[in-house]
Amino acid sequence: MSSPADHYKGFTDLASAQVEGTDYRVHVRANAGSAVAVIAPHGGSIQQYTSDVARDIAGADSFAQQPSFTDALTKRRG
């Protein structure tokens, strides 16, 4: 069986076919004073630990923007 990641050419395709907050989530933590962005486009269960790595790099003080895309579908399917 293929995963949801196999069905979309990009984020625009996924966003038009799925419901944000139900099927996927985008987490953003921003600090306007930072010149650095830390991005985990395949966070959550899509690629295990990428959200954790991005969060650790950004640091507890959230010195950087930290967008993270997570797949809620996998969690719902169990």
pLDDT digits (tens, 9 = 90+) for 30-72: 777 778 888 877 766 777 788 888 888 877 555 444 555 566 5
Looking at residue 7, its pLDDT comes to 74
Does residue 73 or residue 46 have the better pLDDT? 46
pLDDT digits (tens, 9 = 90+) for 14-26: 889 889 888 888 8
- Residue ranges of alpha helices (H) inside 1-78 are 11-17, 50-58, 72-77
Does residue 59 or residue 74 have the better pLDDT? 59
**CA distances (Å), 14 to each of 37, 42, 53, in order?**
23, 13, 24
Rg, Å, the chain Cα set: 13
Q: Which residue has the tokens 């979309």?
A: 8
Domain ranges (residues) in the chain: 4-77
pTM over 0.85: no
Q: What is the DSSP letter of 65?
A: B
